[in-house]
Amino acid sequence: MFKLDRKSILIGTSAFAASVVLLSGCGDSTSTGVASNTSKSCEIGVYKIIDKHAIDGGVIYARQNGVYTDYRYNQQSMKGLNYGRPATANEIKAWNVDALPDGTGLPKGQGSVEEGDELFEAQCASCHGDFGGGGKGYPQLTGGNQDKDENGIVKVLKNQRLLPGMAAPKRTVGTYWPKATTLFTYIRDAMPYAHPKSLTDDQVYAITAYILSQNEIKIDGVEMDDEYVLNAKKLTQVVLPNNNGFYPDIDGAKGPANVKAFFADRAKNIGMGTRCMHDCKDISKDGHGKMVAPSVFKIKYEMSDVVPPYAYARDLPPEVDTGLVSKGEKMYNTSCKLCHGTDTMGAPMVGDKEAWASVMQKGLHEVVHNAIAGTGGMPPKGGNADLSDADIKTIVEFMANSSK
Amino acid sequence: MDKTLKTKESTSVSRRDFFKKTASISAVAAAGLLAPATLNADDPAIMHHTKWGTTLGDGCNYHPYGIPSKYEHNIVRRTSALMSSAGDMHAAISMTPLYAQKGIITPNGLHFTRTHNGVAHVDPNEWRLMIHGLVEKPIVLTLEQLKRYPSESVIHFVECPSNGAAEWKGPQFNSVQFVRGMMSCAQWTGVRLKTILDDLGLKPEAKWMLAEGGDGSEMSRTLPIEKVLDDVIIAYGQNGEALRDEQGYPVRLLAPGWEANLSVKWLKRLEFGDKPWYAKEETSKYTALTASGRAIQHFYALETNSIITSPCPEIPWTYLKKGEMIEIQGLAWSGYGTVRGVDISFDGGKNWVEASLKGLILPKCWTRFSYMYKYEGKPLLLQSRSYDDSGDVQPTVNQEKTVVGVEGVYHRNAIHTWEVTAKGEVNNVQVRS
């Protein structure tokens, strides 16, 4: 850091050494007067800092006299612009549906674990696994050992894979998530994945209840059995096992100040390097806990499964097939492929002859009807209500024809 | 990338294939640089009229919206199923080809892309931004109204805090695109949020802002007011044109230097409050689990970082001859402030020399570094280490893992090592205990 040090010494000895003014940029012609008149302070990339302990641990640069670091800006007043129109109460109500951990904003409604179980199996398990237990390549929502150590820390979160074969930390709703209200708002806004915002508030309470019960969460000491009915009040009472597992403390009036204090000590809290230039030693604990000098670790299993494959030639691209993509295929790609493009989701995979032969035994009419009305894990019209019945027929024909 | 990467048994075939491919680029480079001299014969590229010199070219409006030369078709974003939240491409990330990056501005078509519910296609006529909560005057803006505010154009990198996350436990990908490609840098144009708030009147109780996206995942995050009033902008321009859909068309938040996830795309709503929201992407994800078993939350700025982009596995030194001079260059950046310098080591971090910075040096922006090196055909362990004006210095792998462990997923900025073999091949390795 020697360049910086030199600079702060320079400023530090000047008469204008206000504690916040560390560095002075070239454009700074009037405010301090001192440093800027010396040519040395005009070092490229050195800008005037007004706060070196910003909330993120970084610096805040001066905006003065039309100069912001290397940028210039218009100094005229920007007041009184007033371009938007007032938001109506109904508009705010329609969009302001977020909820805080204290329950503010949670909607009315309720749902039981049992109802949630059915909904989950029908709409979520295809991706998140039976009981939310994962195993399908999508996030695991339940499971993991919630036992805590003597300091109240969930033990499985201390797992570190420093050596091959070591267990990974388990991050599920039960072991990792801090707040249950997040589960409610996230499911309501973002799931099910292919057609988010399609669940009613009652349904979301039910599914949330089911996921919490599968994580063996007790609410106010009460176990969540099948008949348990969750509502806003009870959801607010949930204390998830890892509620205290996060730092710095962002809650309460001192939240922002805590964050600032945490990032002010980055060397201790998140790690930082040192500018050693010669004969640097970098001794540290190895995977067995012994202090050793570093050595060179090579790639053991190269990840080369990349899309598109690695290629570097500056040649002409391969001729593209100009055969037009059919309307059916286009609609299939946007609304159905997510589930029907693989054989992992319980949907008959396009291209799987046997699966489609057996589907089509029912006759086209019946199959189209099922695709329109929904069946089993198949949502009505694949979740895309904008498709007409005729569109669905076109797509089903494409799917069947591509699977012969 | 929100889950631990699975390792895949790689076959020796894929590795050999890879080197065949890298050999072919060096062959291209060699053809350009060495052919006439080494062959000692007249270069047909000079001795014959070319096809393009003997035919009429295309009309000027052949592509009303221009596209890259078709010979550049391999310069594309790449991804891997292993890097998504799931085995599909909708909650996933694609990486910028850093080996082909020129200067500090990433072309819009190559800007890395991370989505949580696919790339949304927002109709700008129906787009609205609501600003409400602890403000005197809650408002709704259309795109036209937003664009009436005085604009700012600033150059900032945008980086996913998972950049490099595949490497906590060891090197995995032999490619700079995959090692560090979850970032890009662009000139963003928009309105400084403070300019709008000065109009609306922020109430003194307001401590936090919720930024919510309008995509299928309603991606949302909580930001502290201090940042909001400093340099956050509401951006609609990217390198001189509208944002690309992948970057949040028509409007995204831009929180310079911070986890890209906080620069919420397809922006829909800003709410001011006195408590943080605890959205999914600031609890279940984007929190960094440390070895203590507790996790860092509200982890904002990306630490100072650097990567050598030439040489790299995609651009090896296999064509160099002993004694030839070659430029080592790369990118350095810091979300805390401005890069002040970069050091280079040839021996895996024991000894260091100072590189030069070149080009523009801007806060929270990619900064180019350069070092002229005399190639000796000896094996090297090549590293770069950046430092910035906030006092941050890039840590070694050991320094970083001693404090935070290896399971944090996010905010990995440890010094990177390329092994250069005696033949000039470049491989991803790690120097660690």
pLDDT in tens, B328-358: 999 999 999 999 999 999 999 999 999 999 9
Q: B351 vs A82, A283, B347, CA distance in Å?
A: 58, 15, 7
**What is the reported pLDDT for B12?**
37
- Among residues A215, A236, A257, the one where a domain terminates is A236
**β-pairing, B267-273 with B295-296?**
unpaired
Nearest CA to CA, how far is B77 from chain A (Å)? 8
pLDDT band at B211 (very low <50, low <70, confident <90, very high): very high
Tell me which chain A residue has its CA closest to the CA of residue B70: A316
Given a cut of 50, is residue B235 above it in pLDDT?
Answer: yes
Residue B420 has pLDDT above 80, yes or no: yes
Q: Please tell me the predicted confidence (pLDDT) of residue B430.
A: 98
Computed over its alpha carbons, how large is the radius of gyration of chain B? Answer: 23
Torsion sign (Cα): A291, A295, A300, A305: positive
Q: Are residues A289 and A192 both part of a single domain?
A: no
Residue A42 confidence (pLDDT): 65
Tokens 């408590």 locate to B275
Q: Are B335 and B308 within 8 A, CB to CB?
A: no
User: A126 and A212: one domain?
Assistant: yes
SS3 state of residue A261: helix
Helices (H) and strands (E) in chain A, counts: 14, 14
**Cβ-nearest to A296 among B293, B296, B348:** B348
> Residue by residue, what is the 3-state secondary structure of A205-221?
HHHHHHHHHHCCCEECC
**What pTM was estimated for this model as a whole?**
0.83
Residue with tokens 């890097």: B83
List chain B residues with CB under 8 Å of A69: 338, 362-363
For the segment B253-278, the average pLDDT, to the nearest whole number, is 98
Nearest CA to CA, how far is A246 from chain B (Å)? 5
pLDDT at position B86, please? 60
CA-closest candidate to residue B354, choices A7, A267, A278: A278
A127 and A90 in a single domain? The answer is no
Residue of chain A with shortest Cα separation from B171: A299
CATH of the domain at A395: 1.10.760.10
Contact A282 B398 (CB under 8 A): yes
Chains A, B: CB pairs < 8 Å: 426
List of chain A residues whose C-beta atoms are within 8 Å of the C-beta of residue B263:
none
Report yes or no on A260 lying in a domain: no
H or E element at residue B367: strand B367-374
- The two three-digit tokens of residue A69, written as one number: 């670091």
Q: What are phi and psi of B427, to 5 degrees?
A: -125, 150
Instruction: Among B31-45, B135-149, B288-302, B311-325, name the one with the lowest average pLDDT.
Output: B31-45
CB A312 to CB B295 under 8 A?
A: no
pLDDT for res A333 = 86
Instruction: List, in sequence order, every residue forming a beta bridge with A114; answer none if it has no partner.
Output: none
Residues A232 and A131 in one domain: yes
Q: Out of A154, A190, A299, whose CB is closest to B428?
A: A299
Q: Do B79 and A277 touch (CB under 8 A)?
A: no
Please report the pLDDT score of residue B113 as a whole number. 96
Give contacts of B141 with chain A, Cβ < 8 Å: 83-84
Which residues, at least 6 apart from A101, have a Cβ–Cβ distance to it below 8 Å?
A179, A181, A182, A236, B278
For the residues B192-208, what does the mean pLDDT come to? 97
Residues A117 and A209 in one domain: yes
Query: Any idea which architecture B305-429 has in CATH?
Result: Sandwich (2.60)
How far away is chain A from the Cα of B332, in angstroms, using its nearest Cα?
13
Pairing type for strands A85-86 and B139-141 reads: antiparallel
Q: Is the pLDDT of residue B32 over 80?
A: no
> Is B303 in Cβ contact with A270 (below 8 Å)?
yes
Residue A404 near residue A351, CB atoms below 8 Å = no
- CATH placement of domain B75-286: 3.90.420.10
Q: Locate A17 and state its tokens.
A: 């050494």
* Chain B, nearest residue to A195 by Cα: B216
Residues A167, A120 share a domain: yes
Bridge partners (DSSP) of residue A162 are none
B166, B1 contact by CB (below 8 A): yes
pLDDT tens, residue order, chain A (404 aa): 334 443 433 333 333 333 344 444 454 444 443 334 334 456 888 999 999 999 999 999 999 999 999 999 999 999 889 899 999 999 999 999 999 999 999 999 999 999 999 999 999 999 999 999 998 889 999 999 999 999 999 999 999 999 989 999 999 999 999 999 999 999 999 999 999 999 999 999 999 999 999 999 999 999 999 999 999 999 999 999 999 999 999 999 999 999 999 999 999 999 999 999 999 999 999 999 999 999 999 999 898 889 999 999 999 988 766 666 788 998 998 889 888 988 888 899 999 999 999 999 999 999 999 999 999 889 899 988 889 999 999 999 999 999 98
Q: Is residue A222 part of a domain?
A: yes
Contact status, residue A278 vs residue B32, Cβ threshold 8 Å = no
Which domain does A163 fall in, by range?
A: 110-236
pLDDT attached to residue A41: 52
The pLDDT of residue B53 is above 60: yes
Q: Which of A307, A336, A342 to mutate to test the interface with B (most CBs of B within 10 A)?
A: A307
CA distances from A144 to A140, A163, A168, A222, B78 (A): 10, 21, 11, 21, 33
- Distance of residue B29 Cα from the nearest chain A Cα, in angstroms: 10
List, as one string, the DSSP characters of B354-365: EPEEES---TTS
Residue B205, both tokens = 């109780």
pLDDT at A323: 62
For residues B381 and A34, the model is more confident at: B381
**A190 to B217: CB separation less than 8 angstroms, yes or no:** yes
Q: Evaluate the omega torsion of the peptide bond into residue A192 and state whether it is cis, within 30 degrees of 0.
A: yes
Residues 6+ apart with CB under 8 A from A39: none
State residue A343's pLDDT score: 83
Angstroms from B390 CA to nearest CA on chain A: 6
Q: Considering CB atoms only, which of B131, B278, B295 is closest to A182?
A: B278
Contact B139 A85 (CB under 8 A): yes
Q: Which residues of A touch B82 (CB under 8 A)?
A: 303, 305
Q: What are the Cα distances from residue B316, in Å, to A120, A317, B156, B308, B332?
A: 51, 24, 29, 12, 20
Structure tokens at A66: 């039309």
- Interchain contact A159–B (C-beta under 8 A): yes
- The pLDDT of residue B40: 75
Q: How far is CA A188 from CA A192, A193, A195, A374, B378, in A?
A: 8, 11, 11, 21, 59
Average pLDDT of the residues in B274-301: 98
Closest Cα in chain A to B137: A86
Side chain identity at A7, as an amino acid letter?
Answer: K
Residue in chain A nearest B300 by alpha carbon: A56
Number of domains forming the structure of chain A = 3
ipTM, interface predicted TM-score of the complex: 0.89
Minimal C-alpha gap between A58 and chain B (Å):
4
The pLDDT mean for chain B works out to 91
Please state, in angstroms and rounded to a whole number, the distance separating the CA atoms of residues B179 and B172.
8
pLDDT band, very low/low/confident/very high, at B90 (cuts 50, 70, 90): confident
